[in-house]
Amino acid sequence: MRSPQAIGARRAAVALLTAALALSLAACANDPLAEQYRAGENKGYIAGDFRVVEIPADQRTEPVVFEATTETGATVESDDYLGGVLVVNFWYAACGPCRAEAGDLEKAYGAFEGENVAFLGINTIDSAEGAAAFAETYGVTYPSAIASETPAIKLAFAEKTPIQATPTTLVLDAGGRVAARIIGQLPDASILTALVRDALAESS
């Protein structure tokens, strides 16, 4: 049985920890970066592992040139997308953040129906069958290139822009150059749609 002194010390420690947690939460609530994150605004570094990098037109690298096979066996290549904006998302089926962001990516894709915007997933690990099963489960309707069948597609992008994590989402401009990069899980579709709108405006 604990002594009264031990019980008193434990209660004091718990009270101190509770107070510290409350102060921490209050600080987060008043943090403009946290508010920006919730608002879905696009201003560079947001929070945690999530980061947006926008690249001014005069600082972009050469166009990304690629050719690959999708989960349906169709061939896609960079020339197919020139003149429009292309969103490229690197993912694989066992990636938890990839699953979590699938709905937001599909929502952003649907927001540009009828506009000169295309989406292309790049599955970094899985077979075509595995990628197709993921698309069916999570309601993804845009195609994905299968890097296990055409590994050069990963190299084509890695030569032009850092791809340190999965998921990573890129926005390519009308000339096929990387205009924006989202590192980590997309927390909200509105952030991606804002980046795509910026790239569209450049070519209008």
Instruction: Compare 203 and 58 and report the one with higher pLDDT.
Output: 58
* Locus of tokens 């822009």: 161
The three-point CA angle 48-98-86 to 5° equals 95
pLDDT tens string 128-146: 999 999 999 999 999 999 9
Helix (H) or strand (E) holding 121: strand 117-123
The reported pLDDT for the residue numbered 25 is 32
Omega before 167 within 30 of 0, i.e. cis: yes
Helix, strand, or coil here: 199? helix
The reported pLDDT for the residue numbered 65 is 97
Which residue type sits at 191?
I
Contact 124, 153 (CB under 8 A): no
Structural Rg of the chain based on CA atoms: 21
Task: Order the strands of the 117-123 sheet from edge to edge.
Answer: 45-47, 50-54, 178-183, 168-172, 85-91, 117-123, 144-146
Band of residue 50 on the pLDDT scale cut at 50, 70, 90: low
Query: Can you point out the beta strands (E) in 48-95?
Result: 50-54, 67-69, 75-77, 85-91
The reported pLDDT for the residue numbered 170 is 96
The reported pLDDT for the residue numbered 130 is 97
What's the pTM value of the predicted model, to 2 decimals? 0.76
The reported pLDDT for the residue numbered 163 is 80
For domain 44-202, the CATH architecture is: 3-Layer(aba) Sandwich (3.40)
Average pLDDT over residues 171-185: 96
The β-bridge relationship of strands 50-54 and 45-47 is antiparallel
Question: Nearest Cα to 169, choosing from 199, 130, 148?
Answer: 199
